[in-house]
Structure 1
Amino acid sequence: MGITGKELAEKLNISATAVSMALNGKPGVSTEMRKRIIAEAEKAGYDFSRLQLKKNHSGDIYCIIYRAHNAILNYTPIFSELTEGIEAECRHKGYGLKTLQVYENTDDLTQVVEELRICGCVGIILLGTELSAGICRRFLEASLPMVLLDASFDAIDCSSVLINNVQGTYLATGYLIDRCNEQPGHLCSSYSIANFSERKTGFQKAVREHGMSVSKSLSHELAPSIEGAFSDMLEIIDSGTPLAKCYFADNDLIAIGAIKALKLRGYKIPDDIAIIGFDNISEGRILDPSLTTIDIPRRFMGQTAVDQLIRQMEDPASHTVKLQISTSLIKRFSV
């Protein structure tokens, strides 16, 4: 039979706590001491499989996808990357994961919250893309550790992990202005969510800091889907509404729909009108011309949300945090 942790501590004349921290990869011991403990454990036949068993926690983390109007979450590939990151990190940290979709129009939220209290849920990651502050408070009534993903509310004390929309849009609009040397227009979503509101702030900030007037930027409202944006943009073009020489679009779906409409009416992209999107979805890569856009590390966002939730579960007294994940510019041929 192999040596126990307590016996190993006695043999090395150190505390059992130090042995536990070293074997479990936790901070609190020096690198040299950790190496010494692990080497001695291997030599003495310590059963390292015990550590793996300890990692399998009881209870599940719940990833809850809240759907309101479903205009945004209807495009699933974006959010599957988030959930892949959540799943990978839960598996790595030894937690089970269950995914629950809650529909505003059909599900009884009171019942959902009550079931969360009794179903073995140990923590919640709430995808808040279409969430309101009022609904967020309802989920907090479950009295479980919770992290908001892709949303944040100033009036609610809840940790959140979200996109740095202002930074990404500022980056995109600045690049658009520098390349085109023209007053940029804005292809806005006709559905209002916090992400799009923040992107408007980033757009206006970039316009002002390039010495231009925000009031001179043309703005068109389009549905946040390829088909909807295509139809809306055709109507705008056919109505004779003046068009800008370049546009920032609130997301790639809007950008792609607008490009298809413009090309159908004889405009050349980017020679006549340049367009940049936001999200870096796969359709943008195969579009002709391929779409310049802003990339979001969605898998990393999901992993970060799990890390923050586990930290909150292990230390309930810790302060809440708001983590904004930076984005990067993908240069292609629509600008």
Structure 2
Amino acid sequence: MGITGKELAEKLNISATAVSMALNGKPGVSTEMRKRIIAEAEKAGYDFSRLQLKKNHSGDIYCIIYRAHNAILNYTPIFSELTEGIEAECRHKGYGLKTLQVYENTDDLTQVVEELRICGCVGMILLGTELSAGICRRFLEASLPMVLLDASFDAIDCSSVLINNVQGAYLATGYLIDRCNEQPGHLCSSYSIANFSERKTGFQKAVREHGMSVSKSLSHELAPSIEGAFSDMLEIIDSGTPLAKCYFADNDLIAIGAIKALKLRGYKIPDDMAIIGFDNISEGRILDPSLTTIDIPRRFMGQTAVDQLIRQMEDPASHTVKLQISTSLIKRFSV
């Protein structure tokens, strides 16, 4: 005869309530404790057939947008597409959705985590674009199912859905080199986030695989906004700094700002200088010339994050996964 829940609790020296929450897939115990309880239950022959492991639609999924310096998340259209995908998939799967904005400089994170435990939240999608590993750990203290969106940390056991930044930057830089047959430069963001670091890796990989030296690629730091990049690029041009014949930009905002500055100083795009971006924002389509860029299926990313979270809610003992969403090249007229 298999072990009972009460006997399992006594064996593990924990409360029967904790065992019940773990076996029924309910929040209130940590991910590690849940895995330990389920593993011991399987080992001891617990009869899982008596459980009704059904979707819990009585609570809400929370989409949490964490804002640190806000330099990246300040451009809302990109992240609106992510949240639209999340909302559509939650509605399709019968879950309510609530959105929570958390500001690093003003919000008490301890209080936020405590409120998540008691507010009817059944799972979290945490937008990690401006997130650090330390802050991610704080959210995990809520002991709720969680999926990271647009970020991943190797030292943290948490499922994630993110852009394949290396692949996208590699694709963009390879196309740039093939079209221009020149050593490409890099228009880097002056704000450092993991996405941009990964894009730098993809850029350098493409440069090396085309038989070029990374050390010969010119690099300029620009603010990751159209206005900021415009000002920074004007300063670079006016200072007489040497310029490359073609550039990969960390995002479209940088690319657009740089193109506006170059055109103001008499450069013709792409005849005098070619530029490729990353993100495929709407402003790039109406730019003259329209911006060659990398497209990210952001709505699909949001939907995928919800699907992964629901799997985790239904099977708390499942392994965490890191899902990278591939990008695609959009050929226009800036290259």
Same fold (TM over 0.5): yes
Describe the SS at the equivalent of 1:215.
Answer: helix
Structure 1 pair 21–303 and aligned structure 2 pair: CA distance change class (3 A): farther
TM-score (norm 1): 0.84
What's the offset of the Cα at 1:199?
A: 0.1
Counterparts of 1:220-299 in structure 2, within 5 Å, are 220-299=220-299
What's the offset of the Cα at 1:17?
A: 27
What's the offset of the Cα at 1:286?
A: 0.1
Describe the SS at the equivalent of 2:62.
Answer: strand
User: In the alignment, is the contact (CA less than 8 A) between 2:27 and 2:145 conserved in 1?
Assistant: no
Structure 1 pair 278–317 and aligned structure 2 pair: CA distance change class (3 A): same
Q: Which segment drifts farther, 83-92 or 34-43?
A: 34-43
Q: Which segment drifts farther, 214-223 or 27-36?
A: 27-36
Counterparts of 1:93-104 in structure 2, within 5 Å, are 93-104=93-104
Name 1:133's counterpart in structure 2. 133
Name 1:314's counterpart in structure 2. 314
What's the offset of the Cα at 1:16?
A: 30
**C-alpha separation between the residues in 2 aligned to 1:130 and 1:29?**
27
What's the offset of the Cα at 1:4?
A: 31
Deviation string, structure 1 residues 279-330 (Cα, Å, up to 9, x no partner): 0000000000000000000000000000000000000000000000000000
**C-alpha separation between the residues in 1 aligned to 2:60 and 2:281?**
31
Structure 1 pair 39–92 and aligned structure 2 pair: CA distance change class (3 A): farther
What's the offset of the Cα at 1:8?
A: 36
Deviation string, structure 1 residues 196-224 (Cα, Å, up to 9, x no partner): 00000000000000000000000000000
Name 1:49's counterpart in structure 2. 49
Deviation string, structure 1 residues 151-207 (Cα, Å, up to 9, x no partner): 000000000000000000000000000000000000000000000000000000000
User: In the alignment, is the contact (CA less than 8 A) between 1:67 and 1:103 conserved in 2?
Assistant: yes
User: In the alignment, is the contact (CA less than 8 A) between 1:55 and 1:93 conserved in 2?
Assistant: no
Q: Which segment drifts farther, 55-64 or 94-103?
A: 55-64
Structure 1 pair 270–66 and aligned structure 2 pair: CA distance change class (3 A): same
User: In the alignment, is the contact (CA less than 8 A) between 1:222 and 1:229 conserved in 2?
Assistant: yes
Structure 1 pair 20–64 and aligned structure 2 pair: CA distance change class (3 A): closer
Higher-RCO chain (CA-CA 8 Å, sequence separation at least 6): 2
Structure 1 pair 17–188 and aligned structure 2 pair: CA distance change class (3 A): closer
**C-alpha separation between the residues in 2 aligned to 1:8 and 1:110?**
32
User: In the alignment, is the contact (CA less than 8 A) between 1:55 and 1:94 conserved in 2?
Assistant: no
Flag the structure with larger Rg. 1
User: In the alignment, is the contact (CA less than 8 A) between 1:126 and 1:149 conserved in 2?
Assistant: yes
Q: Which segment drifts farther, 275-284 or 1-10?
A: 1-10
Structure 1 pair 24–107 and aligned structure 2 pair: CA distance change class (3 A): closer
Structure 1 pair 231–35 and aligned structure 2 pair: CA distance change class (3 A): closer
User: In the alignment, is the contact (CA less than 8 A) between 1:250 and 1:277 conserved in 2?
Assistant: yes
Structure 1 pair 84–5 and aligned structure 2 pair: CA distance change class (3 A): farther
The number of residues matched between the two structures is: 335
Describe the SS at the equivalent of 2:211.
Answer: coil
**C-alpha separation between the residues in 1 aligned to 2:254 and 2:308?**
32
Deviation string, structure 1 residues 99-128 (Cα, Å, up to 9, x no partner): 000000000000000000000000000000
User: In the alignment, is the contact (CA less than 8 A) between 1:149 and 1:162 conserved in 2?
Assistant: yes
Describe the SS at the equivalent of 1:98.
Answer: strand
Describe the SS at the equivalent of 2:53.
Answer: helix
Name 1:184's counterpart in structure 2. 184
Task: Could you list the structure 1 runs, at least 4 aligned residues long, displaced by more than 3 angstroms after superposition.
Answer: 1-56
**C-alpha separation between the residues in 2 aligned to 1:141 and 1:33?**
12
Structure 1 pair 106–36 and aligned structure 2 pair: CA distance change class (3 A): closer
User: In the alignment, is the contact (CA less than 8 A) between 2:27 and 2:122 conserved in 1?
Assistant: no
User: In the alignment, is the contact (CA less than 8 A) between 2:35 and 2:317 conserved in 1?
Assistant: no
**C-alpha separation between the residues in 2 aligned to 1:111 and 1:32?**
23
Structure 1 pair 62–42 and aligned structure 2 pair: CA distance change class (3 A): closer
User: In the alignment, is the contact (CA less than 8 A) between 1:56 and 1:94 conserved in 2?
Assistant: no
> Structure 1: which 5+ residue stretches go unaligned?
none
Describe the SS at the equivalent of 2:87.
Answer: helix
Structure 1 pair 34–252 and aligned structure 2 pair: CA distance change class (3 A): closer
Structure 1 pair 285–20 and aligned structure 2 pair: CA distance change class (3 A): farther
TM-score (norm 2): 0.84
User: In the alignment, is the contact (CA less than 8 A) between 1:140 and 1:146 conserved in 2?
Assistant: yes
Deviation string, structure 1 residues 254-293 (Cα, Å, up to 9, x no partner): 0000000000000000000000000000000000000000
**C-alpha separation between the residues in 1 aligned to 2:103 and 2:309?**
23
What's the offset of the Cα at 1:57?
A: 1.0
User: In the alignment, is the contact (CA less than 8 A) between 1:187 and 1:247 conserved in 2?
Assistant: yes
User: In the alignment, is the contact (CA less than 8 A) between 1:189 and 1:224 conserved in 2?
Assistant: yes
Percent of residue pairs identical: 99
User: In the alignment, is the contact (CA less than 8 A) between 2:28 and 2:143 conserved in 1?
Assistant: no
Structure 1 pair 113–332 and aligned structure 2 pair: CA distance change class (3 A): same
**C-alpha separation between the residues in 1 aligned to 2:24 and 2:200?**
46
**C-alpha separation between the residues in 2 aligned to 1:259 and 1:54?**
54
Structure 1 pair 21–75 and aligned structure 2 pair: CA distance change class (3 A): closer
**C-alpha separation between the residues in 2 aligned to 1:222 and 1:112?**
34
Structure 1 pair 154–45 and aligned structure 2 pair: CA distance change class (3 A): closer
